[in-house]
Amino acid sequence: MSELARALEALLFLSPDPLPPAALAELTEAPPEAVGAALGELAQRHGPDGGLEVAEVAGGFTLRTRAELADVCERLRERPPEDRLSPAAMETLAVVAYLEPVSRPEIGRLRGVSVDATVASLVDRGLLEEAGRAERGGAMQYRTTRAFQARFGLRAAGDLPPLERFELTGPEAATVRRRLAEAGHLPAPGGPQPLEGAPAGPDRDG
């Protein structure tokens, strides 16, 4: 496939609206006749055996799924959007998963921020649940749920992945790891490291 056809394919893929030939020529800095030839090349590439087609719509061109695949595409549209977790939520989950049961004050002490809203959100999502009150201080403790296990592909409670599975990165990673080590839950820096990675991230409720 020519470089111009590749460029047109990328533009048609990215654009939410059909792009007229004049716009394609302007964006690629190619003459209109060359754009027309490249569109023909692209249409051949996305022939009837593929799932996509180059279609002329409303005076422009678009790269779209073929009409005969509408049913299977509609199933994807009907799926609920992914319930994404913020860095603060992921960091809180990591702390609870490795220390459970653990209270909000302890989570907050280890993370260095208030976690009330984040813990409440995770309880609402079914990823954390109450696990009774601590003997000292009487604070409510929390643990992960079966929904948490399902989300992270775990066989049972205690079957935990390396901390890197929580997809946490950022400048706070070393700080959180140090706090966990100081609390006796992770090896000290420079020692054996059975757990890979470390939770971190700016605190945004979610």
Could you tell me which CATH class the domain 3-78 is placed in? mainly alpha
Span 187-191, average pLDDT: 44
Find the DSSP H helices in 29-82: 32-45, 70-78
For 146, phi then psi, to 5°, come to -65, -30
Considering only residues 33 and 154, tell me which one the structure prediction assigns the higher pLDDT.
Answer: 33
pLDDT > 70 in the chain, percent: 74
Span 30-49, average pLDDT: 91
Four-way CATH pick for 87-182: 1.10.10.60, 3.40.50.2000, 1.10.10.10, 3.30.930.10:
1.10.10.10
Asked if 81 and 47 touch (Cβ cutoff 8 Å), the reply is no
Rounded Cα gap, residues 40 and 91, in angstroms: 51
Do 3-78 and 87-182 fold alike per CATH? yes
The alpha carbon dihedral of 121, 206, 175, 159 has a sign of positive
Q: Residue 190: is its pLDDT beyond 50?
A: no
Residue 99: which of 199, 206, 201, 205 has the closest Cα?
199
- Residue type for 120, please? A
pLDDT digits (tens, 9 = 90+) for 62-84: 988 888 888 888 887 776 666 67
pLDDT digits (tens, 9 = 90+) for 117-176: 999 999 998 999 999 988 877 889 999 998 888 887 777 766 766 655 554 455 555 666
pLDDT digits (tens, 9 = 90+) for 80-100: 666 678 888 888 888 888 788
Considering only residues 172 and 20, tell me which one the structure prediction assigns the higher pLDDT.
Answer: 20
pLDDT > 90 in the chain, percent: 24
Tokens in use for 100?
């459970």
User: pLDDT at position 3, please?
Assistant: 92
Domain boundaries, the chain: 3-78, 87-182
Three-state helix/strand/coil letters over 107-163: HHHHHCCCCHHHHHHHHHCCCEEEEEECCCCCCEEEEECHHHHHHCCCCCCCCCCCH
**Whether the predicted model's global pTM rises above the 0.85 cut:** no
Q: Residue 31: is its pLDDT beyond 90?
A: yes
